[in-house]
Structures are given as C-alpha cells and as structure tokens.
C-alpha cells in the first residue's frame, strides 16, 4: 500500500463525506468497550485510526457529541450514522478513529488486534487469531490470542 493511498467514506444518507490520505497511523482495532458499543449499536466496533490532518470532511458538517473530556464522537445530524471517535488521547497530535463501517471499501483496512477484551459481550467473539488486550492495544496486558472456547452459543 503506497503512502499516499486515498480512501473515501461517509454516512448512510450521504450528507457527510470524508477522505483519508495515507496509512492508518494507529492501526485498525476491534474495540469491545461498553462506550463504543453504545455509540455504534453493534456487539463490537472496528476503528481505523488516523492523524486528524489525514482526514478531510466534506458535505454537511458532522455533529460531535463529547462523550468524555477531550473525546468527541462524530455523527451525521441527518441520518445518525456514527462516524468517528476523535481526540488527543495523550498523543502529540489529534487522532480521528474512523468507524470501519463507514468506509466505501473497507476490505484493505485489516484489523490487527482486539481492545478491551474484558468488556466483550460473553456470547460474542470472532474466529480470528488476533491478540486480545485488556485495554488499549498499544499499552495494556495481552490476555490471549484467538476466540474463547466457552460461553459462545451453538445450535
């Protein structure tokens, strides 16, 4: 993947659009935290992290809900699609974590880890062999690789 790769995305109704330039500087991570789940409506959320200056929004201005001090979660004011987690989060430059579901072509944004594994819904896991971390993938304990073997429903 070349360094200047451009990707596009947007909300369900198309009012808010964006373009990202360059690789994900903060990776692509599955997050199981309660806050991401509430925000997104799914059993987990997959986020692709960019420096804020790699992301350009267009169309209708995104709305931002401040979910905790310094952290915004953007969404479309028309259709409600969750778009980002954004803030500084202790980094030198602002980060915009894009919801993978909003990219037009997310296939080449391949996840590398699971974050906040202890908050995972007990009946839900996925079959990849990626590392599962206690908190953020960058600075917390590695709990295991691969899905759990118990607690998942079966027929």
Contact map string, positions 17 to 36, toward Zn ion, x by CB under 5 A? --------------x-x--x
Written in H, E and C, the secondary structure of the chain is CCCCCEEEEECCCCCEEEEEECCCCCCEEEECCHHHHHHHCCCCEEEEEEEHHHEEEEECCCEEEEEECCEEEEECCCCCCEEEEEECCCCCCCEEEEEHHHECCHHHCCCCEEECHHHCCCCCCCCCCCEEECCCCCCCCEEEECCCCCCCCCC
- Shortest separation between residue 83's beta carbon and Zn ion, angstroms: 9
Between residue 35 and residue 64, which ones bind Zn ion under the rule CB under 5 A?
A: 36
Query: Where does this chain touch Zn ion (CB under 5 A) — which range of 8-16, 51-59, 104-112, 126-134?
Result: 8-16
Binding piece for Zn ion, criterion CB under 5 A, among 71-79, 89-97, 128-136, 141-149:
71-79
Indicate which single residue of 21, 64, 79, 100 sits in contact with Zn ion (rule: CB under 5 A).
79
Retrieve residue 62's tokens: 């995104």
Residue span binding Zn ion (CB under 5 A) among the ranges 65-73, 75-83, 95-103, 136-144: 75-83
**Bridge-based pairing state of the strands 28-31 and 95-99:** unpaired
Cβ distance to Zn ion smaller for residue 14 or 146: 14
Give yes or no for a contact between 82 and 40, defined as CB atoms under 8 angstroms apart.
yes
CB of 147: closest distance to Zn ion in angstroms?
Answer: 19
**Per CB under 5 A, 143 contacts Zn ion:** no
Q: Which of 76, 95, 98, 137 binds Zn ion (CB under 5 A)?
A: 76
Binding site for Zn ion (CB under 5 A): 11, 13, 15, 31, 33, 36, 76, 78-79
């Amino acid at each position: 993947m070349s360094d200047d790769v451009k990707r596009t995305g947007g909300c369900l109704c198309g009012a808010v659009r964006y373009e990202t330039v360059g690789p994900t500087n903060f990776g692509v991570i599955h997050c199981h935290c309660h806050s991401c789940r509430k925000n997104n409506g799914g059993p987990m959320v997959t986020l692709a992290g960019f420096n804020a200056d790699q992301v350009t929004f267009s169309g209708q201005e995104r709305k931002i809900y401040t979910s905790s001090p310094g952290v915004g979660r953007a969404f479309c004011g028309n259709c409600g699609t969750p778009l980002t987690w954004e803030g500084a989060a202790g980094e030198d430059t602002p980060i915009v974590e894009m919801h993978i579901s909003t990219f037009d072509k997310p296939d080449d944004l391949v996840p590398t880890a699971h974050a906040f594994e202890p908050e995972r819904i007990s009946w839900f896991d996925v079959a990849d062999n990626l590392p599962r971390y206690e908190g953020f993938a960058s600075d917390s304990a590695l709990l295991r690789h691969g899905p759990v073997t118990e607690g998942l429903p079966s027929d």
